[in-house]
């Protein structure tokens, strides 16, 4: 059957697809609708590790829908309504299958409300890392790349579907709940404190956080007018101070290098979560599992442009996030009295052909287990250095800025990045990208 035939069958059946069709994570996201806004009302008790929530999702049907899916793993669903009317639902692995009382027309806007609760279970990624709602000794470290968002709220869990978010998080007084964007209120009553956060620019589900702990909070506004909110576990405060002190300088430098900062708030969440093993560029306010160095802050903040504002379209293109954020670290060093990016390139290039750096081509990791490996990060950054060498600094820095501008708040693909690079530089870059992005093994001496 042709693709068209399949699509027609899907419309006739009225069943939204259970995934976005991502080859690495086939069930991530869903078909048949796009989300516009998430309103997440959560309460968490660090003592019992219980999360209770209501998620209200505003969406638009892109086909006729008799049933559609949300992604949700674990937890217990109490009730689902669509446009205020109770809907039928079933659970099937990570799919919450919803059948509204009335079939939704193609193009119809609708509102789903899911009330749910339980002890969230973190997701284990193909590479073995914990992901999602990760309980800590004083709350929870919440980071969802690539799959973990579904461990704490129902939604369309693929970066293709971005939406605005509002959070209302209630915790016992004394704990701080930190999400994305701007803190709009904080009120204590009866031993509980409710934090409201607002993230108006589009965000991929994996970039949402609701990290909870006993934190020292630091707030200020940068000279350029960006409100900063840092939450720091006191056990990490001394070690984190030097890098956090650089945050305004990093924001200014990245704004000069990449173009206007895409969001209306910034900051850092420095937790004490030694078992996590990574930081994540949660939108506006990255989460760090321990005190970060300056390089890590440069990396996570660079993701605000590359990864968060400009999101990937398929997880296979993860180098568009990690290669760029890694290259930002190289550039920062080069422009702050450290090694040049070319010297870094040369150092890595000297690695033997048997090195894991050359284990697979940058833009073809082959499977989800490889998306956070060195051919994505380091060889991805090397690809950008090769591009810079080929087109010269003026074109190269124009390309970086144009990429951020052209796909701001949206998604991009590797093919679009290559096309943009060729357009800006007026060069045919096919063989450079073919070698560095797509060819297995160590590239021949450039
Ligand atoms: N994107 C994160 C970074 O800045 C890494 C996330 C790793 N996640 C994982 N599940 N292994 O490098
Ligand atoms: Zn990264």
Tell which atom from ligand 1 comes closest to the C-alpha of 307. Answer: 1
The CA angle 332-318-292, to the nearest 5 degrees, is 40
SS (H, E, C) the chain: CCHHHHHHHHHHHCECCCCCCCCCCCCCCCCCEEEEEEEEEEEEECCCCEEEEEEEEEEEECCCECEEEEECCCCEEEEEEECCEECEEEEECCEEEEECCCCECCCCEEEEEEEEEECCCCEECCCCCEEEEEEECCEEEEECCCCHHHHCCCECCCCCCCEEEEEEEEEEECEEEECCCEEEEEEEECCEEEEEEEEEEEECHHHCCCEEECCEEEEEECCCCCEEEEEECHHHHHHHHHHHHCHHHHHHHHHHHHCCCCCCCEEEEECCCCCCCCCECCCCCCEECCCCCHHHHHHHHHHHHECCCEEECCHHHCHHHHHHHHHHHHHHHHHCCCCCHHHHHHHHHCCCCCCHHHCCCCCCCCCHHHCCCHHHHHHHHHHHHHHHHHHCHHHHHHHHHHHHHHCCCCEECHHHHHHHHHHHHCCCCHHHHHHHHHCCCCCCCC
Those residues whose C-beta lies under 8 Å from the C-beta of residue 117, and which sit 6 or more positions away, are 50, 51, 52, 53, 75, 76, 78
318 by Cβ neighbours in 10 Å (0-12 / 13-18 / 19+) ranks as buried
In this structure, is residue 378 part of a structural domain?
yes
Cα 87 to middle of ligand 2, angstroms: 39
- Report how far residue 193's alpha carbon sits from residue 170's, in angstroms, rounded to the nearest whole number: 5
- pLDDT top residue among 446 and 431: 431
Sheet holding 266-270, edge to edge: 216-221, 227-232, 266-270, 287-288
With cut-offs at 50, 70 and 90, classify the pLDDT of residue 446.
Answer: low
With cut-offs at 50, 70 and 90, classify the pLDDT of residue 391.
Answer: very high
Cα 115 to middle of ligand 2, angstroms: 33
In this structure, is residue 418 part of a structural domain?
yes
Length of the chain: 446
Q: Is the pLDDT of residue 4 over 90?
A: no
CA of residue 146 relative to chain centroid, distance: 7
Whole-prediction pTM: 0.96
In this structure, is residue 36 part of a structural domain?
no
What would the mean pLDDT of 153-180 be, rounded to a whole number? 98
In this structure, is residue 14 part of a structural domain?
no
Q: Is the pLDDT of residue 388 over 60?
A: yes
What would the mean pLDDT of 272-281 be, rounded to a whole number? 97
Distance linking the first and last C-alpha atoms of the chain? 45
Q: Does residue 372 have its Cβ closer than 6 Å to ligand 1?
A: yes
pLDDT at 445: 77
Any idea what the CATH number is for the domain that residue 354 is in? Answer: 1.10.390.10
pLDDT-above-90 percentage for the chain: 97
pLDDT at 85: 98
Tell which atom from ligand 1 comes closest to the C-alpha of 148. Answer: 10
Those residues whose C-beta lies under 8 Å from the C-beta of residue 405, and which sit 6 or more positions away, are 259
Q: Does residue 308 have its Cβ closer than 6 Å to ligand 1?
A: no
Domains held by the chain: number = 1
What would the mean pLDDT of 109-131 be, rounded to a whole number? 97
Q: Does residue 386 have its Cβ closer than 6 Å to ligand 1?
A: no
In this structure, is residue 53 part of a structural domain?
no
The CA angle 302-214-114, to the nearest 5 degrees, is 75
The pLDDT tens digits of the residues spanning 42-74 come to 999 999 999 999 999 999 999 999 999 999 999
Q: Does residue 409 have its Cβ closer than 6 Å to ligand 1?
A: no
In this structure, is residue 30 part of a structural domain?
no
pLDDT at 13: 77
pLDDT at 11: 44
The pLDDT tens digits of the residues spanning 343-374 come to 999 999 999 999 999 999 999 999 999 999 99
The pLDDT tens digits of the residues spanning 137-161 come to 999 999 999 999 999 999 999 999 9
Contact 94, 131 (CB under 8 A): no
Per the structure, the complete domain to which residue 363 belongs is given by 311-437
What would the mean pLDDT of 297-324 be, rounded to a whole number? 99
Q: Is the pLDDT of residue 6 over 90?
A: no
Q: Does residue 295 have its Cβ closer than 6 Å to ligand 1?
A: no
Q: Is the pLDDT of residue 12 over 80?
A: no
pLDDT at 137: 98
Contact 253, 279 (CB under 8 A): no
pLDDT at 7: 39
Q: Is the pLDDT of residue 182 over 80?
A: yes
CA of residue 433 relative to chain centroid, distance: 25
Q: Is the pLDDT of residue 5 over 80?
A: no
In this structure, is residue 351 part of a structural domain?
yes
In this structure, is residue 422 part of a structural domain?
yes
CA atoms within 13 A of residue 240's CA, in its CB half-sphere:
27
| Mean predicted lDDT score pLDDT of the chain | 96
Nearest Cα residue to atom 6 of ligand 1: 280
Nearest Cα residue to atom 8 of ligand 1: 145
- Report how far residue 220's alpha carbon sits from residue 224's, in angstroms, rounded to the nearest whole number: 11
The pLDDT tens digits of the residues spanning 222-239 come to 999 999 999 999 999 999
């Amino acid at each position: 059957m042709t693709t068209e035939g399949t699509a027609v069958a899907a419309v006739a059946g009225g069943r939204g697809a259970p995934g976005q069709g991502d080859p690495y994570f086939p069930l991530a996201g869903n078909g048949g609708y796009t989300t516009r806004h998430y309103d997440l009302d959560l309460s968490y008790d660090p003592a019992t590790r219980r999360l209770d929530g209501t998620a209200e999702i505003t969406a638009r049907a892109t086909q006729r829908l008799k049933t559609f899916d949300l992604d949700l793993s674990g937890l217990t669903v109490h009730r689902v309504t669509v446009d205020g009317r109770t809907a039928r639902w079933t659970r099937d692995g990570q799919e919450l299958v919803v059948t509204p009382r009335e079939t939704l027309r193609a193009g119809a806007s609708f509102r789903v409300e899911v009330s749910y609760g339980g002890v969230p279970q973190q997701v284990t990624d193909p590479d073995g890392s914990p992901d999602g709602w990760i309980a800590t000794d004083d709350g929870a470290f919440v980071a969802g790349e690539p799959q973990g968002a579904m461990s704490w709220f129902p939604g369309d869990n693929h970066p293709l579907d971005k939406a605005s978010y509002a959070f209302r998080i209630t915790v016992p007084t004394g704990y701080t709940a930190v999400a994305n964007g701007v803190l709009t209120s904080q009120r204590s009553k009866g031993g509980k404190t409710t934090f409201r956060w607002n993230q108006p620019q589009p965000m991929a589900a994996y970039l949402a956080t609701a990290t909870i702990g006993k934190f020292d909070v630091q707030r200020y506004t940068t000279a350029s007018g960006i409100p900063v909110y840092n939450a720091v576990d006191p056990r990490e405060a001394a070690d984190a101070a030097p890098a956090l002190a650089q945050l305004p300088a990093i924001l200014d430098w990245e704004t000069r290098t990449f173009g206007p900062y895409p969001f209306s708030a910034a900051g850092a969440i420095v937790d004490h979560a030694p078992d996590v093993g990574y930081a994540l560029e949660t939108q506006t306010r990255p989460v760090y599992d321990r005190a970060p160095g300056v390089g890590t802050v440069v990396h996570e903040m660079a993701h605000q442009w590359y990864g968060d504002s400009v999101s990937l379209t398929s997880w296979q293109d993860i180098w568009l996030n990690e290669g760029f954020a890694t290259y930002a670290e190289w550039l920062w060093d080069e422009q702050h009295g450290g090694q040049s990016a070319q010297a870094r390139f040369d150092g890595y290039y000297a690695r033997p052909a048997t090195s894991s750096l050359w284990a697979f081509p940058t833009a073809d990791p082959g499977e989800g287990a490889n998306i956070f490996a060195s051919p994505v990060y380091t060889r991805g950054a090397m690809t950008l250095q090769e591009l810079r060498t080929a087109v010269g600094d003026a074109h190269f820095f124009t390309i970086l800025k144009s990429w951020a501008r052209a796909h701001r708040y949206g998604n991009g693909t590797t093919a679009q990045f290559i096309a943009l690079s060729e357009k800006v530089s007026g060069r045919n870059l096919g063989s450079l990208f073919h070698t560095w992005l797509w060819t297995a093994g160590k590239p021949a001496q450039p």
